Amino acid sequence: MSGGKRRGQNEDSIYKDGDRWRGAISLGYGPDGKRIRKKVSGKTRAEVVDKVRKIREGIAKGLPVPDDKLTVGAFLDRWLSTLPGHIADSTLDDYEDTVRLHLKPALGRYKLTALTVAQVDALWQAKRETYSANSVRIMRAVLRKAFGQAEREGLVARNVAALSMPPRVRTNEGRTLTIDQAHKLLDQVNGHRMGTLVLLSLVFGLRRGEALGLMWDGFDPEAGTLRVTHAVKRVKNRAPGAERKTKLVISELKTRRSRRTLCLTPELVDALRRHRAAHNAERLQAGQEWTEHGLIFPTVFGNPSDPDTFSHLFSNLARKAGLGHWHPHELRHSGASLMLAQGTPLHVVSEVLGHASIAITKDVYGHLVEGDKRAATAAISGALLGRRKPVAPRVAPNDGEETG
């Protein structure tokens, strides 16, 4: 550097190393007294100058120095480690499975700062060959949430997952029971210890976990109401040295709309009272082996009922009713469809189902109210036009002017 200005001790340096240009950014000194430097490289001097400038601008804004060596996989592992205690265990299980099975195998080896929108789009395209659009939507949502944290920390300049093309999800409400099929099912489960659960699930379109999480303290026979506040879920057992990989938990419902109060008819109140009498008899029979959780539909020893066990039980009951294989979630679809068929307004159905918004209910079940819209059109058309004698529109005289 003879003949030029001598570089200061804490200044950045840019130099050529063989065929490449390199830059060294001085970041001061560490606790051990050693100088801390961030190194960058590029094919041209201008490229390196631009990288140095962007890092300096980020530091001035309080952003961390980009880590060009941090991989997507390492970042996702770190992100997952920060989530316990902030989200539900079941949600954490879903995130971990999505990262382990889909995101890390495909994207884990890439550098976090170098991942592109095109690479993420290519992943979704590949996944659509094997998985449903809704499954791909969930994968994208998890990656978008993780990269949102990376963006907030200043590790990436933009969230490439959020910029990627979302899959188009065609909502399918699934099968629904007809009135005749519903009668056959209820006749079959009448008197069964889980018969009232099937009845409530059908009438109110309850989710499987919500139905199993109903509590006696949420039942008010005088007011004719039943509160939905909890759900039974199977989650990973994170206890050190646990023999079983999963466990059943009773968790509070997360959102305001999912925590809701159902209005009971006298017939439903009577059904719950009869069920409580049978429930109390089971508790007396179990004696000291009974574990009280306050659940309306526990096992014969009072513990939470396994959702998968109930699914198998329900399928067997449906087969005995001559309906073939059915899943409890189809009770939810059936309940919603039957409510709409009886003329229940869409916003009321949305509240009963506990949907996060009426938009979700409309997306799934909006086609079922097509007949109501036609009936409304017919009613107003009849009111406005029914008594009027139709008159043909007048033909304007052709005076050579354009009307546009």
CB 12 within 8 A of CB 65: no
For residue 93, give the CATH number of its domain.
1.10.150.130
**pLDDT the model gives residue 60:** 74
| Residue 106 pLDDT > 80 | yes
| Residue 59 pLDDT > 80 | no
DSSP for 260-306, please give it. Answer: EEEEPPHHHHHHHHHHHHHHHHHHHHHGGG-----BSS--TTSSPPP
Distance of CA 33 to the CA centre of its chain: 49
Q: Which span out of 30-44, 52-66, 260-274, 336-350 was modeled with the highest average pLDDT?
A: 260-274
- Per the listing, tokens 């069964």 go with 192
Domain check: are 104 and 191 in the same one? no
Nearest alpha-carbon partner for 335 in 218, 188, 170, 185: 185
Domain check: are 330 and 242 in the same one? yes
**pLDDT the model gives residue 24:** 84
| Residue 177 pLDDT > 80 | yes
**pLDDT the model gives residue 74:** 92
311 or 241, greater pLDDT: 311
| Lookup: tokens for 46 | 């201008």
Q: What is the chain's mean pLDDT, rounded?
A: 84
Whether 326 is in a domain gets the answer yes
Domain check: are 348 and 210 in the same one? yes
Range of the domain at 134: 72-163
| Residue 295 pLDDT > 90 | yes
**pLDDT the model gives residue 175:** 82
| Lookup: tokens for 140 | 């994208």
Domain check: are 314 and 336 in the same one? yes
| Residue 245 pLDDT > 90 | no
320 or 1, greater pLDDT: 320
What proportion of the chain, given as a percentage, has pLDDT over 90? 49
Overall domain count for the chain: 3
For residue 225, give the CATH number of its domain.
1.10.443.10
Domain check: are 190 and 158 in the same one? no
pLDDT category of residue 353 using cuts at 50, 70 and 90? confident
**pLDDT the model gives residue 5:** 45
42 or 312, greater pLDDT: 312
| Residue 103 pLDDT > 80 | yes
Domain check: are 272 and 335 in the same one? yes
Domain check: are 55 and 79 in the same one? no
Domain check: are 89 and 132 in the same one? yes
Whole-angstrom Cα distance, residue 372 to residue 378? 10
Whether 395 is in a domain gets the answer no
| Average pLDDT, integer, range 247-272 | 91
Q: What is the tens place of the pLDDT at every residue in 60-84? A: 766 666 666 789 999 999 999 999 8
Helix (H) or strand (E) holding 389: none
CA angle 247, 249, 253 (to 5 degrees): 145
Domain check: are 107 and 17 in the same one? no
Report phi then psi at 26, rounded to 5: -80, 125
- Indicate the pTM of the whole model: 0.64
